[in-house]
Amino acid sequence: MDRETTYNFAAGPSTLPTAVLKTAAAEMLNYNGSGMSVMEMSHRSKAYKAIFDETKERFKRLMNVPDTHEVLFLQGGGSTQFSMIPLNLMGEGGCADYAVTGNFAKIAANEAKKYGKVNIAADTSDCSHTRIPAQSELALDSGARYFYYCANNTIYGTEWKYTPDTGSVPLCCDMSSDICTRPVDFSKYAVVFAGAQKNIGPAGVTVAVVKKSLAGSELPCTPLMLSYKTMIDKDSMYNTPPCYSIYILGLVLKWIEQSGGIEAMERAKEKKSSLLYEAIDSSKLFYCPAERESRSWMNVVFRTESAELDEEFHKAAASSGFVNIKGHRLVGGMRASCYNAMPLEGVERLADFIAKFDKEH
Ligand SMILES: *Cc1c(COP(=O)(O)O)cnc(C)c1O
């Protein structure tokens, strides 16, 4: 297999822009005349500090992050934020609202229960998480310290198409699989976080945008490394940050900027996912379990009525260069992830492949 004829539809870690990987390869042994690889640099060195600062500035610029919020580069994946959020924001005897619209939100809610009272504001498990609740369905607790939701449900292929209105209660959002695909009004958010490995970089770094005024009242048991205050005060460098992952993240953000920024990513995701949904909807064989209004722009989840036929599709797709198209083990079927770095051409070819497979079966 070669790169030119392979389209990697993996849900994460996922495809990265070829241009970014080429730059990284060219700079691998000698970064910018330093005589060393970024991997070998001290995180306190001038050369590395420049990479770090530029990456942070670029994220702030691209996403319009206001000065009320700090951009952090953390470790432990998106999953560590499931603990960090309640530890830092719940407060002693506090309570928080959670919308359970998928597996990751459920894990987050269960984690939060260890630290305070959790009000399940919505739960779509009765319909196997095939839809996003409407605003009117959210059972909000006015005393909640925050409202938590997962913007895009990577496994089930559903996505919030609106920002929940929670009055004065700030939002916390897992944007691991749809960060940098649309503008975000950070003034409504206490925390937005995303593991980089879906849409903006490699595994190893998690971007967290934290409202500074809400940091500093963590529970006394909060580990030093899980305190937003620690990381804000030390500019994500209390300890050694994931240096190389941050460098690649920086290259991806530069690529996004050069490709037209967030607006261009937004247009591209709508175009790519609608091509696939059209191919699925106009087929006899395939269908989407997710409700139409809740369909994800990022992870197109679909299937046939038969597990054997799904298996046949995976194999045929892979031998035509469309790899990692298997659905998550919790749901089976197929999943084509159309993140920022997936070229339109890959999606067009997959849509044709779906139509061809449908005709032949
Ligand atoms: C992948 C994913 C996670 C888990 O991320 P890790 O970095 O593996 O901990 C959490 N939330 C969402 C929405 C995801 O897609």
Model confidence over 95-115: pLDDT tens digits? 999 999 999 999 999 999 999
79 lines ligand 1 (CB under 6 A): yes
Q: Is 296 in the pocket of ligand 1 (CB under 6 A)?
A: no
Ligand 1 centroid to residue 114 C-alpha, Å: 20
157 Cβ inside 6 Å of ligand 1: no
Our answer on whether the CB atom of 174 is closer than 6 Å to any ligand 1 atom is yes
Distance (angstroms) between ligand 1 centre and the Cα of 357 equals: 31
Tokens 């970089």 -> residue: 201
Query: What residue owns the CA closest to ligand 1's atom 14?
Result: 176
For 146-162, write each residue's pLDDT tens digit: 999 999 999 999 999 99
Q: pTM to 2 decimals?
A: 0.98
Distance CA 303, CA 298 (A): 16
Residues of the chain with pLDDT under 50: none
The pLDDT assigned to 1 comes to: 87
* CA–centroid distance, residue 26 to ligand 1 (Å): 30
